[in-house]
Amino acid sequence: MKRISILGSTGSIGTQALDVVRANPDLYKVEVLTAQNNAALLIEQALAFKPAMVVITCEDHYQTVKKALPNVEVLCGEEALIAAVQLPQVDFVLTAIMGSVGLKPTIAAIQSKKDIGLANKETLVVAGELVMQLAKENGVKIIPVDSEHSAIFQCLVGEESNPIEKIFLTASGGPFRGKDTAFLTNVTKKEALKHPNWVMGAKITIDSASLMNKGLEAIEAKWLFDLKSEQIEVVVHPQSIIHSMVQFNDGSIKAQLGLPDMKLPIHYALAYPQRVNSNFERFNFLNYPEFTFSQADTKTFRNLDIAFRAMEKGGNMPCIINAANEVVVDAFLKDKIGFLQMSDIIEECMQEIEFILKPTLNNYLETDHHTRIFANTLVTK
């Protein structure tokens, strides 16, 4: 039985992971559940799955959670996430929290020699070189949960000695595929949150609409699969059936296909290296008689170009764009800035925040902090 700590159990990935656990009670035991604000759902989950520990990072909800769960160890605050991944009985940590807050607990889990199911792309965007080196030193497996990276990971099983020539990250194009800048000037958050294929949290849905999500995924892929930026190509595939592809040095391409449902990559990550039976809906080729592909429009959707520039620059530049993006997405969701202003502010942060070629963990944390302060000043102008 695999004993699991789920960081971010009340979010989209976390709730679907618990669905997978619920369907496989003989395979998985939940030892830790954590949430930021959703105390009611966290309590409901804890009563159902009976973990040893629960963490609510927003201290305002601590007493509510503690009172509701008298037989569970309840901790609060972001630092408590580190304790949540270090329990001796935990052998697998699913990091499903959003944003750079996932970095420190992921590092703590790696140092405690826990295998990682990584659904928090920001961890590798912010400090990919550091995290992957630590994983190597500690003999820890990092199994990606993002559908695109899971696809690449699955395509590479059995290909360990064969060099990758290129990977293709597929993008749906989001709700604004084919639109121009004039159209995007006045789009609303309601329109941006209508993803055509996937049901996701608000932040990642906005990132998908701006194509920043695909840019962050490219940076994550660089570190996960030890690639150079020129080995990563983004193609728009509106059907979202081919989740990504790998091209090898003989020209052969392998792809992983499936319906747009995050339960499959979650299921794969939890069960790895086995493939466990599931009752998920099966893909039928006859329902999708055509697969189409097109080039991503980086002139209209500048965030994708921004992310590739940050990846090529290296150092703390991806950390800068990630922090700035988290600020501007929050501001857009609160109707403080327009859709296109998000790219403007991120680019200004790239110019103004100090660039560090060889950052330490403290450098990453300071860069993240300073970028957020500066980006917030731009939001309130």
Residues 302-341 as b/e (b if ≥16 CB within 10 A, e otherwise) read: bbbbbbbbbbebbbbbbbbbbbbbbbbbbbbbeeebebbb
Judgement on whether residues 275 and 201 belong to the same structural domain of the protein: yes
Judgement on whether residues 123 and 165 belong to the same structural domain of the protein: no
Last residue of a domain, one of 123, 144, 165: 144
Judgement on whether residues 106 and 176 belong to the same structural domain of the protein: no
CA distance linking residue 271 with residue 265, whole number of Å: 10
CA distance linking residue 184 with residue 299, whole number of Å: 12
Number of domains in the chain: 3
Confidence of residue 120 (pLDDT cuts 50, 70, 90): confident
Looking at residue 140, its pLDDT comes to: 97
Residues 124-136: pLDDT tens digits?
A: 999 999 999 999 9
Q: Are 21 and 49 in contact (CB under 8 A)?
A: yes
For 146-160, 181-195, 319-333, which range has the lowest pLDDT when averaged over its residues? 181-195
Scan for tokens 């922090």, then name that residue. 323
**In the sheet where 73-76 sits, what is the strand order?**
73-76, 53-56, 28-35, 2-7, 92-95, 115-118, 142-144
Judgement on whether residues 243 and 205 belong to the same structural domain of the protein: yes
Last residue of a domain, one of 290, 312, 334: 312
Structure tokens at 200: 């996701």
Last residue of a domain, one of 293, 312, 331: 312
DSSP 186-233: T--HHHHT--SS----HHHHHHHHHTHHHHHHHHHHHHHTT--GGGEE
Confidence of residue 280 (pLDDT cuts 50, 70, 90): very high
Looking at residue 137, its pLDDT comes to: 97
CA distance linking residue 367 with residue 357, whole number of Å: 12
> What mean pLDDT is reported for the chain?
94
Residues in the chain: 381
Domain span at residue 281 reads 146-312
Judgement on whether residues 197 and 137 belong to the same structural domain of the protein: no
Model's pTM, two decimal places?
0.92
CA distance linking residue 371 with residue 218, whole number of Å: 21
Judgement on whether residues 323 and 240 belong to the same structural domain of the protein: no
Residues 61-74: pLDDT tens digits?
A: 999 999 999 999 99
Judgement on whether residues 254 and 270 belong to the same structural domain of the protein: yes
CA distance linking residue 367 with residue 68, whole number of Å: 38
Judgement on whether residues 49 and 103 belong to the same structural domain of the protein: yes
Looking at residue 139, its pLDDT comes to: 97
Scan for tokens 């699991």, then name that residue. 4
Judgement on whether residues 293 and 318 belong to the same structural domain of the protein: no
Judgement on whether residues 289 and 155 belong to the same structural domain of the protein: yes
Judgement on whether residues 308 and 318 belong to the same structural domain of the protein: no
Judgement on whether residues 267 and 206 belong to the same structural domain of the protein: yes
Q: Are 276 and 256 in contact (CB under 8 A)?
A: no
Q: How far from 375 is each of 193, 215, 325, 349, CA to CA, in Å?
A: 22, 19, 9, 7
Residues 204-252: pLDDT tens digits?
A: 899 999 999 999 999 999 999 999 999 999 999 999 999 999 999 999 9
